[in-house]
Structure 1
Amino acid sequence: MKYAYLKSKMSLALIAALSLNGCSHIEVESDQESNNVKLSSIADPDNWPHVVSKVKKNEKIESKITKILNKMTIEQKVAQMIQPEIRAFDIEDMRKYGFGSYLNGGGAFPNNDKYASMQDWAHLAEEMYQASIDDNLDGIDIPTMWGTDAVHGHNNVIGATIYPHNIGLGAMHNPDLIEKIGEATAKIVQVTGIDWVFAPTVAVVRDDRWGRTYEGYSEDPKIVKQYASAMVDGLQGKADSNFMADGTVIATAKHFLGDGGTYLGIDQGNNLSSEEDLIRIHAQGYISAIESGVQTIMASFNSWHGEKMHGNSSLLTDVLKDRMGFDGLVVGDWDGHGQVDGCNNASCAQAINAGVDIIMVPNEWKEMYENTVAQVKSGVIPTARIDDAVRRILRVKMRAGLFDSESPIKRAYAGEQTLLGAKQHRALARQAVRESLVLLKNNQQVLPINPTQHILVAGSGADDIGKQSGGWTISWQGTGNQNSDFPGASSIFDGIKQKVDAAGGHVELNQAGEFEQKPDVAVVVFGENPYAEGVGDIKGIEYQRDNKRDLQLLNRLKAQGIPVVSVFLSGRPLWVNAEINASDAFVAAWLPGSEGIGVADVLLSKRNGEVNYDFKGKLSYSWPKSDAQVLLNIGDENYEPLFAYGYGLTYQDNINLANNLNEIAEVKFEKDLDAPVTLFDSQPQQDLGLYLGDQASWAVPVATSIVTTQGSNNLHLKTTDKNVQEDARQLSWAGNSVATSYLAWSEPRDMSEYLQNNTALKVNIRVDQLPTNSFKINMQSNGKKAGLELNNLLQNLSKHKWNTISVALKCFEQAGIQFTDLRSPFGFITSGKAKVSFAEISWQPRSADNADINCR
Structure 2
Amino acid sequence: MRAGTIGLAAMLLAGSAAASAQDSTGSAPAASARANPANWPVLAMQRQRDPAIEARIDALLADMNMEDKVGQLLQVDIASISPADLETYKLGSILNGGNSAPNGDEFAPAAEWLKLFDAFYDASVTRSDGRPVVPVIWGTDAVHGANNIVGATLFPHNIGLGAARDPDLIRRIGVATAAETAATGIDWSFAPTVAVVQDDRWGRTYESYSEEPEVVAAYAGAMVEGIQGRIGADFMGPGHVISSVKHFLADGGTGGRDQGDARITEDVLRDVHAAGYTTALPAGALTVMPSFSSWNGTKMTGNRSILTDLLKDRWGFDGFTVGDWNAHGQVPGCTNEDCAAAINAGLDMFMYSGPGWKDLYANTLRAAQDGTIPAARLDDAVRRILRVKLLAGTFDAGRPSARPLAGRFELLGAPDHRALAREAVRRSLVLLKNEGGVLPVKPGANVLVAGPGADDIGMQAGGWSLTWQGTDVTNANFPNAQSIWAGLQEAVQAGGGIATLSADGSFAQKPDVAIVVFGETPYAEFSGDRPTLEFSPEDKSALEMLRQLKAAGIPTVSVFLSGRPMWVNPELNASDAFVAAWLPGTEGGGIADVLVAGADGQARHDFAGTLSFSWPKRLDQYVLNRRDADSYDPLFPFGHGLTYAAGATVPQLDESRPAQTAGDQNALFVRGRFAPGADAVTEGAVTLGRVDRLAQEDSLSLIWTGTGTMALAQAQPIDITRESNGQLSLLLDYRVTTPPAATVMLTMTGGDTASVPITGALREGTGEWLQLAVPLRCFADNGVDMAAVTRPAAITSTGALALDVSGIRIASAPPGPVTCGTP
Q: Could you say whether these structures have the same fold, taking a TM-score greater than 0.5 normalized by the shorter chain as the test?
A: yes
Q: Tell me if the contact between 1:126 and 1:407 (Cα under 8 Å) persists in the aligned partners.
A: yes
Distance 1:204 1:258 in 2: 7
Instruction: Provide the residue aligned with 2:301 in structure 1.
Output: 310
Instruction: Provide the residue aligned with 2:783 in structure 1.
Output: none
Q: 1:754 to 1:88 in 2, by over 3 A?
A: closer
- 1:648 matches 2:600: no
Instruction: Provide the residue aligned with 2:3 in structure 1.
Output: none
Letter of the 1:402 partner, please give it: T
Instruction: Provide the residue aligned with 1:708 in structure 2.
Output: none
Instruction: Provide the residue aligned with 2:419 in structure 1.
Output: 427
Structure 2 residue aligned with 1:73, among 65, 75, 98? 65
Instruction: Provide the residue aligned with 1:692 in structure 2.
Output: none
Q: 1:854 to 1:112 in 2, by over 3 A?
A: closer
Distance 1:110 1:361 in 2: 17
Count of equivalent residues: 725
**What is the CA-CA distance between 1:138 and the residue it aligns to?**
8.8
Distance 2:164 2:634 in 1: 20
Q: Tell me if the contact between 2:63 and 2:131 (Cα under 8 Å) persists in the aligned partners.
A: no
Q: Residues 666-815 of structure 1: matches in 2 within 5 Å?
A: 666=658, 668-669=660-661, 678-679=668-669, 746-749=694-697, 760-761=710-711, 787-794=737-744, 803=755
Instruction: Provide the residue aligned with 2:525 in structure 1.
Output: 533
Q: Secondary structure at the match of 2:267?
A: helix
Distance 1:360 1:497 in 2: 45
Instruction: Provide the residue aligned with 2:482 in structure 1.
Output: 490
Instruction: Provide the residue aligned with 1:282 in structure 2.
Output: 273
TM-score, with length taken from structure 1: 0.80
Letter of the 1:272 partner, please give it: R
**What is the CA-CA distance between 1:502 and the residue it aligns to?**
2.6
Q: Which runs of 5+ in 2 are unaligned?
A: 1-20, 676-689, 714-731, 748-752, 780-788, 803-823
Instruction: Provide the residue aligned with 1:354 in structure 2.
Output: 345
Q: Residues 438-477 of structure 1: matches in 2 within 5 Å?
A: 438-477=430-469
Q: Secondary structure at the match of 1:439?
A: strand
Q: Secondary structure at the match of 1:268?
A: coil
Q: Residues 243-392 of structure 1: matches in 2 within 5 Å?
A: 243-263=235-255, 265-363=256-354, 364-392=356-384
**What is the CA-CA distance between 1:852 and the residue it aligns to?**
5.8
Q: Tell me if the contact between 1:78 and 1:372 (Cα under 8 Å) persists in the aligned partners.
A: yes
Q: Residues 120-269 of structure 1: matches in 2 within 5 Å?
A: 120-136=112-128, 139-263=131-255, 265-269=256-260
Q: Which runs of 5+ in 1 are unaligned?
A: 1-28, 689-741, 764-776, 781-785, 808-825
Distance 2:746 2:297 in 1: 43
**What is the CA-CA distance between 1:452 and the residue it aligns to?**
1.6
- 1:400 matches 2:336: no
Please say which of residues 425-434 and 30-39 is displaced more in the overlay. Answer: 30-39
Deviation digits for residues 152-208 of structure 1, max 9, x if unmatched?
A: 000000000000000000000011010000001111111100111000000000000
Distance 2:303 2:571 in 1: 44
Letter of the 1:191 partner, please give it: A
Q: Tell me if the contact between 2:745 and 2:795 (Cα under 8 Å) persists in the aligned partners.
A: no
Q: Tell me if the contact between 2:95 and 2:140 (Cα under 8 Å) persists in the aligned partners.
A: yes
Distance 2:178 2:691 in 1: 41
Distance 1:743 1:152 in 2: 42
Q: 1:754 to 1:49 in 2, by over 3 A?
A: farther
**What is the CA-CA distance between 1:500 and the residue it aligns to?**
2.0
**What is the CA-CA distance between 1:803 and the residue it aligns to?**
2.9
- 1:609 matches 2:601: yes
Q: Secondary structure at the match of 1:501?
A: helix
Deviation digits for residues 724-743 of structure 1, max 9, x if unmatched?
A: xxxxxxxxxxxxxxxxxx99
Instruction: Provide the residue aligned with 1:830 in structure 2.
Output: 766
Across the aligned residues of Structure 1 and Structure 2, the Cα RMSD in angstroms comes to: 3.3
**What is the CA-CA distance between 1:406 and the residue it aligns to?**
3.3
**What is the CA-CA distance between 1:273 and the residue it aligns to?**
1.2
Q: Tell me if the contact between 1:461 and 1:467 (Cα under 8 Å) persists in the aligned partners.
A: yes
Q: 1:554 to 1:350 in 2, by over 3 A?
A: same
Q: 1:744 to 1:643 in 2, by over 3 A?
A: farther
**What is the CA-CA distance between 1:56 and the residue it aligns to?**
0.6
Please say which of residues 64-73 and 38-47 is displaced more in the overlay. Answer: 38-47
**What is the CA-CA distance between 1:389 and the residue it aligns to?**
0.2
Q: Tell me if the contact between 1:760 and 1:806 (Cα under 8 Å) persists in the aligned partners.
A: no
**What is the CA-CA distance between 1:88 and the residue it aligns to?**
1.2
Q: Secondary structure at the match of 1:524?
A: strand
Q: 1:32 to 1:57 in 2, by over 3 A?
A: closer
Q: Tell me if the contact between 1:167 and 1:215 (Cα under 8 Å) persists in the aligned partners.
A: yes
Q: Tell me if the contact between 1:182 and 1:232 (Cα under 8 Å) persists in the aligned partners.
A: yes
Distance 1:260 1:595 in 2: 28
**What is the CA-CA distance between 1:45 and the residue it aligns to?**
1.0
Distance 1:663 1:836 in 2: 38
Letter of the 1:393 partner, please give it: I
Q: Secondary structure at the match of 2:635?
A: coil
**What is the CA-CA distance between 1:365 and the residue it aligns to?**
1.6
Deviation digits for residues 108-151 of structure 1, max 9, x if unmatched?
A: 22222333333222222222222212123694311111110000
Q: 1:339 to 1:177 in 2, by over 3 A?
A: same
**What is the CA-CA distance between 1:344 and the residue it aligns to?**
0.8
Deviation digits for residues 205-242 of structure 1, max 9, x if unmatched?
A: 00000000000000011010110000000000001211
Q: Tell me if the contact between 2:673 and 2:698 (Cα under 8 Å) persists in the aligned partners.
A: no
Deviation digits for residues 632-667 of structure 1, max 9, x if unmatched?
A: 011112211110100100110232212x10101147
Instruction: Provide the residue aligned with 2:716 in structure 1.
Output: none
Deviation digits for residues 710-761 of structure 1, max 9, x if unmatched?
A: xxxxxxxxxxxxxxxxxxxxxxxxxxxxxxxx99864324689999xx9935
Instruction: Provide the residue aligned with 2:513 in structure 1.
Output: 521
Letter of the 1:578 partner, please give it: P
Q: 1:232 to 1:472 in 2, by over 3 A?
A: same
**What is the CA-CA distance between 1:287 and the residue it aligns to?**
1.2
Deviation digits for residues 779-801 of structure 1, max 9, x if unmatched?
A: 78xxxxx835424024999xxx9
Q: Secondary structure at the match of 2:449?
A: strand
**What is the CA-CA distance between 1:324 and the residue it aligns to?**
0.9
Distance 2:628 2:30 in 1: 24
**What is the CA-CA distance between 1:630 and the residue it aligns to?**
1.1
Letter of the 1:413 partner, please give it: L
Instruction: Provide the residue aligned with 1:577 in structure 2.
Output: 569
Distance 1:278 1:796 in 2: 43
Q: 1:591 to 1:667 in 2, by over 3 A?
A: farther
Q: Secondary structure at the match of 2:94?
A: strand
Q: Secondary structure at the match of 1:421?
A: coil
TM-score, with length taken from structure 2: 0.83
Letter of the 1:187 partner, please give it: A
Instruction: Provide the residue aligned with 2:77 in structure 1.
Output: 85
Q: Tell me if the contact between 2:107 and 2:466 (Cα under 8 Å) persists in the aligned partners.
A: no
